[in-house]
């Protein structure tokens, strides 16, 4: 089945938080049922001394894409690494993680971070993370376009997802006039974020431009659906998709659970030292 683009939203304006940190809300944490399994997508630019010192998460996964610069990650397990341009980190907070995300030395980090929900039965699994190096990610090419397949299936390429909850992630670059067909499972809700350029996409030939977020709803078909895209200028875009989670969402700060009681327990565990395993 060919997917159509059912709604288009505009990313928020860039917010200058300080002289060293700016961000933009791409997908806002508002109507969780309409964007499930996704919770929020934020674009950040930051350099030292700005960044995200040690902080907690529970009940979610984060997918961090480095668009430019370098990001240094540390966590409570002793994990440490430097993520550079085109690298992706898949982090499962599960029961609890304490980690920091800081610019590496004097470099400015330009990142996208997606919060991906977990179903209630998986919210308290052990924390873990996977660093995926951009140069090792397989690439599907067609005339005038190339797609890095970080997770999911596209043509003959199939890359396992680094998250616990299944998700596809494609990084799309296309020249003016290039046409390509993307794939997503019929069970998935998906969205396309246009980082730069203009294109038409979906069965209704929706017009897409820089900063647009275009959503496709699950079709319910077995197997995979297609989403057509034609570049009208040089384009870079990211496609995210995953099956919705039909459960309540209660979000308070860095914790996302299914009830107020679970949120209260998360804060109590954090204050009492029982947060991480």
Give the rounded percent of residues in the chain with a pLDDT score beyond 70.
99
Distances (CA, A) of 34 to 28, 44, 149, 238, 247: 11, 24, 25, 19, 12
Q: What is the pLDDT of residues 217-272, one digit of tens each?
A: 999 999 999 999 999 999 999 999 999 999 999 999 999 999 999 999 999 999 99
Q: What is the pLDDT of residues 67-80, one digit of tens each?
A: 999 999 998 888 88
Output DSSP code: residue 244: -
Distances (CA, A) of 28 to 12, 70, 85, 220: 9, 25, 25, 25
What are the residue boundaries of the structural domains of the chain, listed by start?
14-135+252-272, 138-242
Domain 14-135+252-272 and domain 138-242 have a common topology: yes
Please state the CATH superfamily assignment of the domain spanning residues 138-242 in this structure: Jelly Rolls (2.60.120.10)
Strand ranges, E, within 133-188: 139-142, 145-154, 157-159, 168-174, 179-185
> CB–CB of 169/112 below 8 Å?
no
Whole-structure pTM value:
0.96
Q: What is the pLDDT of residues 106-122, one digit of tens each?
A: 889 999 999 999 999 99
pLDDT at 202: 83
The shares of helix, strand and coil residues in the chain, as percent rounded to the nearest 5, are 10, 55, 35
76 vs 135: which has the higher pLDDT: 135
Give the rounded percent of residues in the chain with a pLDDT score beyond 90.
92
Please state the CATH superfamily assignment of the domain spanning residues 14-135+252-272 in this structure: Jelly Rolls (2.60.120.10)
- Within a 13 Å sphere around the CA of 277, how many CA atoms are in the beta-carbon half? 10
Phi/psi for 264 (5° steps) reads -60, -40
The residue whose two tokens read 């700060």 is: 253
Triad 94, 73, 39: Cα angle to 5° = 45
Q: What is the pLDDT of residues 176-210, one digit of tens each?
A: 999 999 999 999 999 999 999 999 988 778 999 99
Asked whether residue 277 carries a pLDDT value surpassing 80, the answer given is no
């Amino acid at each position: 089945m060919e997917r159509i683009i059912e709604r288009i939203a505009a990313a928020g304006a860039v917010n200058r938080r300080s002289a060293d940190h700016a961000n933009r809300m791409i997908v806002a944490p508002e109507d969780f049922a309409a964007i499930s399994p996704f919770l929020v997508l934020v674009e950040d630019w930051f350099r030292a001394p700005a960044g995200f010192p040690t902080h907690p998460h529970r009940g979610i996964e984060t997918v961090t894409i480095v668009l430019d610069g370098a990001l240094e990650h540390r966590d409570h397990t002793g994990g440490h690494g430097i993520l550079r341009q085109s690298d992706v980190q898949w982090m499962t907070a599960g029961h609890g993680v304490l980690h920091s995300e800081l610019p590496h030395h004097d470099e400015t980090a330009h990142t996208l971070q997606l919060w991906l929900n977990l179903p209630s039965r998986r919210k308290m699994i052990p924390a873990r993370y996977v660093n995926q190096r951009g140069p090792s990610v397989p690439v599907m090419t067609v005339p005038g376009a190339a797609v890095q397949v970080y997770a999911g299936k596209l043509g003959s390429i199939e890359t396992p997802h680094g998250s616990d909850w299944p998700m596809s992630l494609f990084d799309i670059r296309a020249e003016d006039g290039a046409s390509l067909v993307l794939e997503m499972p019929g069970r998935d809700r998906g969205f396309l974020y246009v980082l730069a350029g203009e294109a038409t996409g979906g069965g209704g030939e929706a017009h897409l431009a820089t900063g647009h977020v275009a959503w496709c709803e699950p079709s319910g078909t077995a197997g995979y659906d297609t989403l057509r895209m034609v570049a009208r200028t040089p384009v870079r875009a990211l496609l995210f998709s995953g099956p919705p989670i039909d459960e309540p969402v209660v979000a308070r700060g860095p914790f996302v659970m299914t009830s107020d009681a679970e949120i209260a327990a998360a804060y109590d565990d954090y204050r009492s030292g029982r947060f991480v395993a």
